[in-house]
Amino acid sequence: MTFSKLIKKLNKYLSEKDVAEINEAFQFAKEAHAGQFRKTGEPYIEHSLSIALTLAEMELGKSAIIAALLHDVPEDTLKTIDDVRNQFGDQVAQLVDGVTKLGQVRYRGGESEREIETLRKMFLAMAKDMRVVVIKLADRLHNMQTLEGLLPEKRERFARETLEIFAPLADRFGIWRLKWQLEDLAFQWLYPKEFVWVSSLVKDEAKSRERYIQKVKKFLEKFLAKKGIHAEISGRAKHKFSLYKKLLRYDRDISKIYDLLALRVVVETIDDCYKALGIIHSIWSPLANRIKDFIAVPKANGYRSLHTTVFCLDGKLTEIQIRTFEMDQEAKFGVAAHWAYSKENEKVGTKEDIAAFAPPKILSWVKQFSEIQEELKSSKELEENLKIDIFQDRIFVFTPNGDAKDLPKGATPVDFAYAVHSNIGDHCIGAKVNTKIVPLNYQLQNSEVVEILTSKNATPSRDWLKFVRTAHARTKIRSFFKQVDRDKNIIAGKELLNKELSRFGKGGIESIGERKIKKALEALSYKNLDDVFAALGDGSISASQIIKRLFSQDDIFGPSRKKTVILKDKTEIEAKIAGMDGILTKFANCCKPEYPDEIIGFITRGKGVIIHRKECRNIHSADQKRLIKMRWEGGQKEVYPVELKILVTDRVGMIADISSVIAAANINITDFKITHLPEGQEFIHNVVVDISNFEQLDNLIDGILKIKGVKSVKKV
Ligand code: MN
């Protein structure tokens, strides 16, 4: 294929300036891919051109076309994504980066239907911009067209992935043209015998079908014209894969299939669609139950048309689809069709604007995509939709080989390491995310690539139990420590407890009275202190759990110092059911109540109480018996002023870092003093903070210890 073919298409709908820029991108890509060839022997650039052409047929905007030309540049050439950004701007770079990331989603074959659905969703969740998906689909189309270059077993996996993931996505986006091409290509490689069989069935009839279509077309166009309707009529054979699926349902008997022949009648207005349907039914009688009005009730992917199957000329059963030109474009190009239309509509701005997410109300298609994304994110209130709930709280990250791991939100590299293999977890010493070193308690984000660094002699750390999110990792870490012998656990546990005690300004366990210890042992149901230390050492109990049994809050913080503070921060004001505590509540997504809105609760089945604003429309239509009064509570709380002594090595920004950790924990600072120690660069920061309980203090100390240059933190 030549570049001039693409230019010809582009000139039809883009400005000279845009085409010039695309030309520049083409030269850039050509140079970058110079000397590279596809497995089929073609120069690599042919692949990128083919994708750009597919997009140009849908009349996509400049940025999408440029991104298509450059989509394999960062991954397969010496040029980087930064080079792309420098020359073609942020938007193009984001699209290219999006396509590259989607390339990391791996399908292995043999996944269950649920896993496949998750992959599809993951794909959408990661794409963020519709254009990325369209580029990826076009990329897949060309890869399928050149599949013969691959090894047979790779071909099969590729074709199956196309059928299971990509064709359904094209369908969901309503891009019919890509959908059937992808399906037929996959069909050819996955079921070669059946493909040949279906092809021969279709071929046998090709000539007579063509004659027949011409006959009907001539007749019907004339007839409709007489009634004042201008129509363009075309005919097509059913696509091979959909015909094959249908044949399987009809005993493989082609004579039983009615819509083998489909005529498309494209008219000017919706009104004409219905008129044409009436006229057609007045000449040919329709088959019962085969009249479908997808204009009044569009399909889920937005497809609109009227369908009917009639006893047509010569008594032949023929399916007729009636639609407007706009609907016809939509049916071919789905989501993408609207970017093309929008150029005539000044109100919605340029095509580029829309593609980069216009407000959902403006275009139904855009709305539909955002609904797909919503479907992935929101709707905890749809009680039946548990599957989506699960998806919402999960992230997808990748091994350097591109295998996807599905983890709960907040999961860390340690969770990831154990998800890969317990051996990797047990010997983990560090992690890289997107090639940069991160701490082991780093919270992984969607679509990051995680590499675990291991060492043969390394063993798990008890600290990991404080931040891992998955039960799997937790169990594995504990079982590691259970295997380490009990004596070691006792020593480690005792050390841990003493360390924790000193944090709270207490002496070691030896300094605690026998009575107190006995009481704590009973409360925790352990026989003796060694058992407690062992449990602490193997991670089945935490130090703060023990300390809570040994001391009351007043013991630790000093009862006389307790004070009541008025909260300035309204985020600490809680919505409560009058007179009740401990009931699971959640704010409604529909009206998002905020203090001081008037609020009311709706009691769900098994999911606690959903809090709505009083004037929320959903509440008016809800079952009134399930409503419950709610009010805002809080505004004040009891706190202990606690002085922390923080030993640090001085550096620029230290004070800012300490105070921002405290502020992030929503804790108030009432005093801050710095003392320079006589020798060296060490300082002591004395910070007084308002603390409401053990856990808060414990977490705060952990947080401060993570700051670079902090050597120790103690309650004074
Ligand atoms: Mn590609």
pLDDT tens-digit readout, 296-317 = 887 766 788 999 988 888 877 8
Q: Which helix (H) or strand (E) holds 436?
A: strand 436-438
Nearest to 170 by CA among 126, 211, 135: 135
What local confidence, expressed as pLDDT, does residue 330 receive? 78
Q: Is the pLDDT of residue 343 over 50?
A: no
- Residues whose CB falls within 8 Å of the CB of residue 309, separated by 6 or more in sequence, listed in order: 258, 259, 286, 287, 290, 317, 318, 319, 320
* 487 flagged as catalytic: no
Give the distance, in angstroms, between the CA of residue 575 and the centroid of all CA atoms in the same chain: 30
Query: Domains of the chain, with CATH numbers?
Result: 3-186 (1.10.3210.10), 199-334 (3.30.460.10), 362-481 (3.10.20.30), 484-551 (no CATH), 574-633 (no CATH), 638-715 (3.30.70.260)
pLDDT tens digits along 241-270: 988 888 888 888 877 776 677 889 999 999
Output the CA 48–ligand 1 centroid distance in Å.
7
Q: Which two tokens stand for residue 145?
A: 């067209």
Q: Is the pLDDT of residue 434 over 60?
A: yes
Output the CA 99–ligand 1 centroid distance in Å.
9
Q: Is the pLDDT of residue 696 over 80?
A: yes
The answer to whether the bond into 559 is cis (omega within 30° of 0) is: no
Q: Which of 76, 487, 671, 695 is catalytic?
A: 76
Instruction: Calculate the alpha carbon distances from 243 to 188, 236, 249, 263, 289 in Å.
Output: 13, 12, 10, 16, 20
Lowest average pLDDT, out of 151-165, 466-480, 611-625, 627-641, goes to 627-641
Q: What mean pLDDT, rounded, does the chain reach? A: 81
400 CB-side CA count, 13 A: 10
Q: How far apart are CA 292 and CA 323, in angstroms?
A: 12
Lowest average pLDDT, out of 270-274, 379-383, 629-633, 685-689, goes to 379-383
Question: Beta strands 261-267 and 317-324: pairing type?
Answer: parallel
Q: How far apart are CA 610 and CA 599, in angstroms?
A: 10
**Where residue 61 falls among pLDDT bands split at 50, 70, 90?**
confident
pLDDT tens digits along 354-401: 333 322 222 343 444 445 444 444 333 222 222 222 334 567 788 877
What local confidence, expressed as pLDDT, does residue 353 receive? 36
Output the CA 134–ligand 1 centroid distance in Å.
12
Q: How far apart are CA 666 and CA 696, in angstroms?
A: 10
Q: What percent of the chain has pLDDT over 90?
A: 27
* 679 flagged as catalytic: no
What local confidence, expressed as pLDDT, does residue 188 receive? 92
Q: Is the pLDDT of residue 105 over 80?
A: no
Output the CA 328–ligand 1 centroid distance in Å.
29
The top-scoring range by mean pLDDT among 403-417, 430-444, 549-563 is 430-444
CA angle 568, 574, 576 (to 5 degrees): 145
Q: Which helix (H) or strand (E) holds 543?
A: helix 543-550
Query: Is-above-0.75 flag for pTM?
Result: no
Strand, coil or helix: 414: helix
What local confidence, expressed as pLDDT, does residue 46 receive? 94
Q: Which of 31, 75, 232, 572 is catalytic?
A: 75
- In sequence order, what are the beta bridge partners of 641? 690
Output the CA 75–ligand 1 centroid distance in Å.
10
**Where residue 589 falls among pLDDT bands split at 50, 70, 90?**
confident
Nearest to 572 by CA among 538, 595, 588, 603: 595
Q: Which residue has the higher pLDDT, 10 or 314?
A: 10
Q: Is the pLDDT of residue 220 over 70?
A: yes
What local confidence, expressed as pLDDT, does residue 383 receive? 27
Strand intervals (E) in 588-626: 599-603, 609-613
Output the CA 161–ligand 1 centroid distance in Å.
15
Position of tokens 């890969």? Answer: 420
Position of tokens 């300004």? Answer: 505
pLDDT tens digits along 638-659: 788 889 999 998 888 888 888 8
Average pLDDT, integer, range 538-564: 80
**Where residue 320 falls among pLDDT bands split at 50, 70, 90?**
very high
Q: In what order do the strands lie in the sheet with 450-454?
A: 436-438, 428-433, 450-454
**Where residue 124 falls among pLDDT bands split at 50, 70, 90?**
low
Nearest to 213 by CA among 259, 261, 256: 261
CA angle 361, 367, 373 (to 5 degrees): 135
Q: Which helix (H) or strand (E) holds 429?
A: strand 428-433
What local confidence, expressed as pLDDT, does residue 425 receive? 94
Q: What percent of the chain has pLDDT over 70?
A: 84
Q: How far apart are CA 364 and CA 335, in angstroms?
A: 9
Instruction: Calculate the alpha carbon distances from 341 to 68, 98, 288, 338, 456 in Å.
Output: 21, 25, 36, 5, 61
